[in-house]
Structure 1
Amino acid sequence: MKILLSSYACEPGKGSEPGIGWNVAREIANYHQVWVLTSNTHRLAIEDELARNKVPNLNFVYLDPFGWVYDWSYEGKRSQMSVYLHYYLWQIMAYFVARPLHQKINFDVVHHITYGRYSSPSFLVFLSVPFVWGPVGGAESAPKAFWQKHSLRARVYENLRNLLRRFGESDPFVHLTAKKSVVAIAATEETAQRFAALGCKKIEVYGAVGIPKADIEQLIQISSTQCRPFRFISTGRLLHWKGFHFGLRAFAQTNLPDAEYWIIGDGPEREFLESLAQELGIADRVNFWGTLSRQETLSKLGECDVLIHPSLHDSGGWVVLEAMAAGQPVICLNLGGPGIQVTKETGFKVPADSPEQAVNDIATAMMRLAKEPELRLKMGEAGRERVREVYNWEVKGKYLAQIYQTVAGNS
């Protein structure tokens, strides 16, 4: 079949949204002819990759509104409002580029991939071609009970995030996107509920993130050695909603005087987290590694035993899958993407009823995994198997290819 993918963010060798866009396109090209609409931001990286590794059936169309190519190199200077504006204008332009392309090629299915945000529309629904939406997320919120522990800055952030989401839901084009989708794929249960409220007819829940087969094999080779202190690890940007402060408080409650806690990443919460470790009396056993390369991060992961990922609203959770592929149990909150990725066989999904309860439950899970090596090994092996069977990009590509067959056959 002829498939048109809308993938604003799409780049080989990347994680997050660009990685999702690229891996979906790459896998779908194994089954169908694919045209990808994306931003010129990613053009150089895509063309370099295709020059080295040509992919039959994969074509790219680059576009940006009014020639405005967003410069992502100014990581700390960009405004979120300008990102939203650029993305919205890009979506409008994508329709006007896709319409003559469709008249020429006659697409069988149109599929929106990135951005994976349910509260933003896709104007490609007006092409009168079966439209698949997602997986997308974004409906996840920090439970209100946890806001009392937030700083003023964090509360402002959460309020603005909720306001933008409600503003998006009021957009009539978002409602049209929902109603015209033949299948809406939610990355999380929270997003599935919002899909239903928006009027989506057929909803499936399926995680957005995955791991390439080669990366899975590399992660499987990572094995932690026991001739060292027992170690917990958290990795990601140090933001309030990542919940690393819950991990530190839980670690302080454990009766594990010889254990260590490693934190990889940097961000605005680092100074607070370092002060908290001092206040809790655990600073000598907590190591803040800062920002590391991917290879360095994987090396550190291999020197640890359990991943702590107490995020309050993650749609994805790449590090969760990487830890599972490396054979490490995961302790997370039962929220968002990690709440779907982790099962009772692969780790502990802690309820998020209150900050105190969550910290106590995380501490209990930490002690169990530290003191029960057989349980830890059993969960680690189950995690590896789950990634192979569910979160391998090859598996996800087959899933999407089957959806295309179904929707095209019913049109």
Structure 2
Amino acid sequence: MAKIIVSFATRPGKGSEGGVGWAFVSQAALWAVNNAEDLYVVIDQRDHDVVLKALAGLGNVGTNVKVVPVSVPRMLLKTFGDSRNRATYLGWSVGARACVANLVDSGTVDVVHQVTFASTSLPHVLPSGDKSVRTIWGPVMVPSAPVHSQGKRPRPIEVVGVWGLRKLGKFHARNVDLVIATNEFTRNWLMPRECDLEPNIVIDVDQFPRIAVENDLLTMSGLLINRKRPWIALEALLDPRLANYRLNIVGDGPLRPVLEGFAKRSGLVPRVNFLGVVDREEALRLVAASRVLLHPAAREGASWAVGEAAALGVPAVAVQGSGADSTIRLSQNGGFVVRSDQRNLVNAFAEAILTVLSRPRPLPSTRWSAARFPALFDKWWLQDDRKVEDD
């Protein structure tokens, strides 16, 4: 029987959604060859040529792997260009849903698995009502917390909006046989339906060179926006017990002028370095040189920054329920999860940093290696076959 893997964002050599899509597609192609299975790969037309070239670079993936491109409507391309955003996904999903339905109607497909986009707030393209086909969605996430700006509480509209997105996630997942959650919050929210926990992070330790560690260096990496709550890291640095530590801030965003102003007023300028946007190789080098990664975000799907740090042997500090907490727990290499119900979250974050600093630097984590995929595909895709054998 044939499998279908659906990936809107599929970009070899990239991070985030595109990197996740390519990791799943490439590993699925190798799995299909090793298991003598047919595989249809439904992707965005814009990624067709680069995906074909990258698949060819894997070696003999066989004629049983067939790439099926679906176009984004021309009007959306004129508006958004090459962007892979929610609008272009929604336009693409109409054609992708029809494409998947046609493949399923052939009668040779027993599994359809959609891997990107990783949000339950967007509708999937999986077939429903056909019991002969196992449908799998994910890794995906639902928002875990409303967002607010520094010194303020979340606005009621944000609280209601997050609640609505969570309900929408349950609605979209209602007919899916298996949902793969990027974090524990998503899994718990969508249960009791069948759920598995597997963050959408793919990082191999051997990609990274070994860098000399600067024991007085902390790093925060990501967009400087309210959802990431970068001010918590800056305020934590004011703890007298952290007076001898420096902080590199990798990334940019609308909060940067505000944060720079706070650093100036608070006397942190000599110890805080705003580095702006750097390429991925440089970002990894900066994290690798650090003693701890600070990740105070309010919510994530699954944090690539935390996973990359773990693969580099750098422990992270994150907040309970953010999504990044699941990545820390699964990495199992010395990170710390701050309870979200602390009266003073900044103080609790500073205490967590000190706790991590008191421990030996951990070994690099291999948890996020692509080598885990064959066992995962066996688990997710061959479940019905195992049931038949057991019977």
Q: Distance in 2 between matches of 1:40 and 1:301?
A: 35
Structure 2 residue 383 is the aligned partner of structure 1 residue 399? no
Structure 1 pair 150/393, CA: closer, same or farther in 2 (3 Å)? farther
Q: Report the CA distance shift for 1:408/1:270 in structure 2 as closer, same or farther (over 3 A).
A: farther
Deviations for 1:353-408, whole angstroms, at most 9, x for unmatched residues? 25x522112212223444x3xx132xx22xx2xx31x3212213421332211134
Residue in 1 that maps onto 2:123: 121
Summarize deviations over 1:320-358 as a string: whole Å, max 9, x none.
11111111111111223321121375211001125x522
**1:64 to 2:71 alignment:** yes
Match of 1:205 among 197, 203, 206: 197
Matched with 1:270 is 256
Q: 1:22 to 1:150 in 2, by over 3 A?
A: farther
Equivalent position of 1:223 in the other structure: 211
Cα shift at 1:122: 2.2
* Alpha-carbon distance in 2 for matches of 1:19, 1:55: 21
Are positions 1:40 and 2:31 aligned together? no
CA distance in 2, matches of 1:72, 1:338: 33
C-alpha distance 208-408 of structure 1, shift in aligned 2 (>3 A): farther
CA distance in 2, matches of 1:323, 1:74: 33
* Letter of the 1:180 counterpart: N
Note if contact 2:76-2:91 (Cα within 8 Å) is conserved in structure 1. Answer: no
* CA gap 1:123/1:259 in 2 versus in 1, 3 angstroms: closer
C-alpha contact 2:336 2:352 (8 A) present in aligned 1: yes
1:187 pairs with 2:191: no
Contact 1:187 1:205 in 2 (8 A): yes
Deviation at 1:104, TM superposition (A): 4.0
Relative distance call for 1:27 and 1:358 in structure 2 (3 A) is same
Paired residue type of 1:28: A
Deviation, structure 1 residue 276: 1.4
Write the letter of the residue equivalent to 2:136. V
Instruction: Describe the SS at the equivalent of 2:128.
Output: helix
- Deviation of 1:224 after TM superposition, in Å, equals 2.9
Q: 1:101 aligns with which of 79, 91, 103?
A: 103
Which residue matches 2:142?
A: 138
Residue in 1 that maps onto 2:316:
330
Report the Cα distance in structure 1 between the residues aligned to 2:74 and 2:128, rounded to whole angstroms.
24
Structure 1 residues 125 and 308: CA distance shift in structure 2, 3 A? same
- Per the alignment, residue 305 of structure 1 pairs with 291
Structure-2 change in CA distance of 1:257 and 1:29 (3 Å)? same
Task: Report how far residue 225 of structure 1 moved.
Answer: 3.4
After superposition, the Cα gap between the structure-2 partners of 1:336 and 1:166, relative to the gap in structure 1 and judged at 3 Å, is closer
- Distance in 1 of aligned mates of 2:106 and 2:231: 55
CA deviation vs aligned residue, 1:248-296 (integer Å, no higher than 9, x gap): 1001114233321000011111111111111221111000001001111
1:192 CA drift (Å): 2.0
For the 8 Å contact 1:117–1:137, the answer to whether it is kept is yes
Comparing 238-247 and 392-401, the one that deviates more: 392-401
Unaligned 5+ runs, structure 2: 33-37
Could you report, residue by residue, the CA deviation over 1:130-173 in whole angstroms, capped at 9, with x for unpaired residues? 11111210332237xx667349xx8599458527616735xxxx
Q: Is the 8 A contact 2:297 2:318 kept in 1?
A: yes
CA contact (8 A) 2:250 2:276 kept: yes
- C-alpha spacing 1:43/1:149, structure 2 compared with 1 (3 Å): farther
1:54-75 per-position Cα deviation (integer Å, ceiling 9, x unaligned):
4615332111244456479869
- Distance of 1:259 and 1:295 partners within structure 2: 24
Contact map agreement 2:201 2:304 (CA 8 A) in 1:
yes
What code does the residue aligned with 1:121 have?
P
Residue of structure 2 aligned with 1:353, choices 330, 341, 364: 341
One-letter identity of the residue aligned with 1:190? F
Amino acid in the other structure paired with 1:207: P
The amino acid of 2:92's aligned partner reads W
Aligned to 1:258: 244
How many Å apart are 1:313 and its aligned residue? 0.3
Report the secondary structure of 2:223's partner residue: coil
SS at match of 1:391: coil
Whole-angstrom CA distance in 2 between matches of 1:166 and 1:223:
41
Q: Please state how far the C-alpha of 1:243 moved relative to its aligned partner.
A: 1.7
Mapped contact 2:5–2:42 kept (Cα < 8 A): yes
Residues 42/72 of structure 1: CA separation in 2 closer, same or farther (3 Å cut): farther
How many Å separate the matches in 1 of 2:69 and 2:322?
32
Please tell me whether residue 13 in structure 1 is matched to residue 13 in structure 2: yes
1:223 Cα deviation after fit: 3.2
Q: Contact 1:254/1:363 (CA < 8 Å) preserved in 2? A: no
- Judging changes above 3 Å, is the alpha-carbon distance between structure 1 residues 179 and 121 closer, same or farther for their aligned structure 2 residues? same
In structure 1, runs of 5+ residues without a counterpart are: none
TM-score after normalising by structure 2: 0.86
Is residue 234 of structure 1 aligned with residue 220 of structure 2? yes
Task: Tell me whether 1:364 sits opposite 2:371 in the alignment.
Answer: no
- Cα distance change on mapping 1:89 and 1:164 into 2, 3 Å: farther
- Counterpart Cα distance in 1 of 2:143 and 2:122: 12
* RMSD (Å) for aligned C-alpha atoms: 2.9
1:41–1:71 Cα contact (<8 Å) kept = no
TM-score of the two chains, using structure 1 as the length reference = 0.82
Alignment coverage as a number of residue pairs: 377
Deviation at 1:190, TM superposition (A): 2.0
CA deviations 1:61-110 (Å, max 9, x no partner) are 111244456479869xx8xxx94343233223212112333344711200
